[in-house]
């Protein structure tokens, strides 16, 4: 009997033809069973199939076992939605509808996800005509009715220097009943532009999926391409990649601690961490010339090496910077007035986090021990383990504290790796992707699990390139965290999630 789920590992390629195509009922049953039993959907996407059908592929993740499973089915114009049974599927099903016009019958809340043009010719999701719908006007907002209930609309252009999104609150005075988040303003058509690649534009475009996660996405991409090409990355390159990924995590987490302090008007930590963030960005720039690690990662390794002296100096810099962060962030955690704002604010329960399929520090703050670096370890993480830290309270404090604790581990890791870089080359040639293969590549970016799925056609070109930024899972977590909060705590809650708009909008 042929297996109903093709088992694979992170960073492995399989034959496209080996992915089982199940009858819809079996496919749905497997997804529901796996998710109910504690498994997750790491990716779920459509592809145009013959006869006007859509091939739907699901990548299932078994975190404790570190295994991935791939299975697929063909659907016509509609299929019964899984969202009511498994809420974590809600975004994926909305995406499938928007991209291919397939209707998930009975989806409790079928609404646009990013206002993109369909990937299938002639598909008319939401009954839209040709051309893009204007946003956010054309949106089925949930409305709470009743005396003295009022609506607050924020965005797309925000007060600070941040990306655009629209937030709509249903309030009673300060009390938030419901927050609805409308995204899609950042949509640039990345997945469509990547088709037919890889070419010279591919890597810089991947680095721009979310510019604050350039290293994370570049690593996920490189992992996919290397799997498709059967390329093995040298040890020194793997170590430098780990250094870069952790520096990216440090820069963002330290920056977030500063911003969180700013949002509760605790200015010492806000100013100190704001400046200290630069130490880690500059460390990345010392490696590759760019503060966000652009142009560093390349399929086959990395483009820049460090000599022993430079590596040792960088290790010292990172350690020294971390000691300053420890002291500066410690002020925030020790301040009763700041803690009064962060503790108990924006709570997400562990149960809810599990149901929504949250990932990254946000999930770990709810006590869910989930981290690609441990569960699906590849590259340097298969050899150098970073302990996974979890919190309990699921509130703003926990999300800040998790960032602090895991930054500490990252700083130790970076210094350790830099002092013991393996010898050898930092780059080997990487061949062109093999034809008819499919690879899943996951990386624990600073926001959580990044998953790239690349499938090649008969000529070895990308026939489908699916990108899942961790924010795709986590935006719903923010909406839920705001329920029964004070609307004035929104900026604080939002910053404690600090999700990517363009990573979601693609």
* Binding positions for another protein, rule: CB under 8 A: 115-117, 132, 134-135, 156-157, 159-164, 184-189, 192-193, 200-201, 203-205, 208-212, 214, 255, 268, 271-272, 274-278, 281-282, 285-292, 294-295, 304, 324, 327-328, 331, 334-335, 500-502, 505
Structure tokens at 50: 């013959």
CB of 266 to another protein, least distance (A): 10
If the CB atoms of residues 97 and 294 are measured against another protein, the closer one turns out to be 294
- Which runs of E-coded beta strand occur in 362-472? 437-445, 448-456, 462-468
Q: Distance (Å, rounded) from C-alpha 277 to C-alpha 212?
A: 13
Helix locations, 438-487, DSSP H: 471-481
Q: Per 3-state DSSP, what percentage of the chain is helix, strand, and coil (rounded to 5)?
A: 45, 20, 40
In whole angstroms, how close is the CB of 429 to another protein at the nearest point? 14
Q: How far apart are CA 470 and CA 450, in angstroms?
A: 6
Q: What is the distance between the alpha carbons of residues 59 and 20, in angstroms, rounded to a whole number? A: 12
14 versus 214: smaller Cβ distance to another protein:
214
In sequence order, the β-bridge partners of residue 298 are 301
Kindly tell me which of 324 and 486 has the beta carbon lying closer to another protein.
Answer: 324
Q: Tell the smallest beta-carbon distance from residue 298 to another protein (Å).
A: 10
How many residues are recorded in the chain? 506
Residue 54 CB, nearest distance to another protein (Å)? 22
- Tell the residue number behind the tokens 């383990």, with chain if given: 385
- The nearest distance, CB 9 to another protein, in angstroms, is 30
**Nearest to residue 475, comparing CAs of 449, 506, 504, 448?**
504
> Nearest distance from residue 431's CB to another protein, in Å?
19
Q: Which of 268/436 has CB closer to another protein?
A: 268
Q: How far, in Å, CA of 40 to CA of 196, rounded?
A: 29
> 205 — phi, psi (to 5°)?
-70, -40
* Residue 118 token pair: 């369909």
Which residue, 321, 301, 294, is CA-closest to 242? 301
Nearer to another protein by C-beta: 183 or 365? 183
CB of 254 to another protein, least distance (A): 12
| Nearest CB to another protein, comparing residues 115 and 169 | 115
Of 126 and 177, the one with the shorter C-beta distance to another protein is 126
């Amino acid at each position: 009997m042929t297996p109903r789920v093709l088992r694979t590992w992170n960073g492995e390629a399989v034959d496209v033809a080996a992915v089982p195509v199940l009858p819809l009922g079996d496919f749905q049953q497997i997804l529901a069973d796996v998710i109910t039993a504690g498994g997750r959907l790491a990716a779920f996407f459509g592809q145009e199939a013959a006869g006007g059908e859509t091939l739907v592929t699901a990548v299932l993740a078994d975190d404790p076992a570190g295994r991935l499973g791939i299975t697929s089915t063909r659907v016509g114009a509609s299929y019964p939605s899984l969202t009511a049974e498994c809420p974590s599927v809600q975004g994926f099903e909305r995406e499938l509808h928007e991209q291919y016009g397939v209707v998930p019958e009975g989806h409790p809340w079928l609404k646009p996800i990013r206002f993109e043009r369909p990937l299938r010719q002639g598909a008319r999701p939401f009954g839209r005509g040709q051309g893009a719908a204007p946003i956010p006007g054309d949106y089925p907002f949930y409305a709470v009715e009743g005396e003295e209930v009022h609506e607050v609309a924020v965005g797309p252009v925000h007060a600070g220097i941040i990306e655009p999104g629209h937030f709509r609150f249903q309030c009673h005075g300060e009390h938030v009943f419901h927050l609805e988040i409308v995204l899609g303003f950042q949509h640039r058509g990345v997945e469509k532009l990547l088709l037919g690649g890889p070419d010279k534009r591919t890597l810089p475009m991947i680095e721009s999926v979310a510019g604050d996660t350039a290293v994370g996405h570049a690593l996920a991409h490189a992992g996919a391409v290397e799997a498709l090409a059967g390329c093995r990355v040298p040890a020194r390159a793997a170590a430098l990649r780990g250094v870069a990924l952790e520096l990216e995590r440090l820069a963002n987490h330290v920056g977030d601690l500063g911003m969180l302090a700013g949002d509760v008007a605790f200015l010492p930590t806000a100013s100190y961490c704001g400046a200290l963030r630069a130490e880690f960005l500059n460390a990345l720039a010392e490696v590759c010339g760019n503060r966000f690690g652009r142009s560093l990662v390349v399929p086959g390794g990395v483009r820049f090496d460090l000599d022993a002296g430079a590596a040792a100096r960088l290790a010292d810099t990172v350690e020294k910077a971390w000691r300053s962060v420890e002291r500066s962030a410690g002020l925030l955690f020790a301040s009763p007035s700041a803690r009064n704002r962060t503790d108990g604010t924006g709570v997400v329960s562990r149960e809810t986090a599990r149901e929504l399929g949250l990932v990254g520090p946000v999930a770990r703050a709810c006590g869910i021990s989930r981290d690609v670096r441990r569960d699906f370890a590849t590259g340097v993480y298969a050899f150098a383990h970073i302990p996974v830290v979890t919190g309990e309270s699921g509130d703003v404090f926990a999300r800040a504290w998790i960032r602090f604790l895991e930054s500490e581990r990252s700083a130790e890791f970076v210094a350790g790796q830099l002092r013991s870089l393996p010898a050898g080359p930092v780059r080997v040639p990487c061949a062109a992707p093999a034809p008819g293969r499919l690879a899943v590549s996951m990386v624990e970016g600073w926001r959580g699990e990044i998953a790239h799925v690349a499938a090649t056609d008969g000529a070895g070109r990308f026939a489908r390139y699916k990108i899942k930024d961790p924010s795709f899972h986590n935006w719903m977590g923010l909406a839920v965290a705001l329920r029964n909060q004070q609307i004035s705590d929104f900026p604080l809650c939002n910053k404690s999630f600090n999700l990517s708009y363009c990573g979601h909008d693609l």
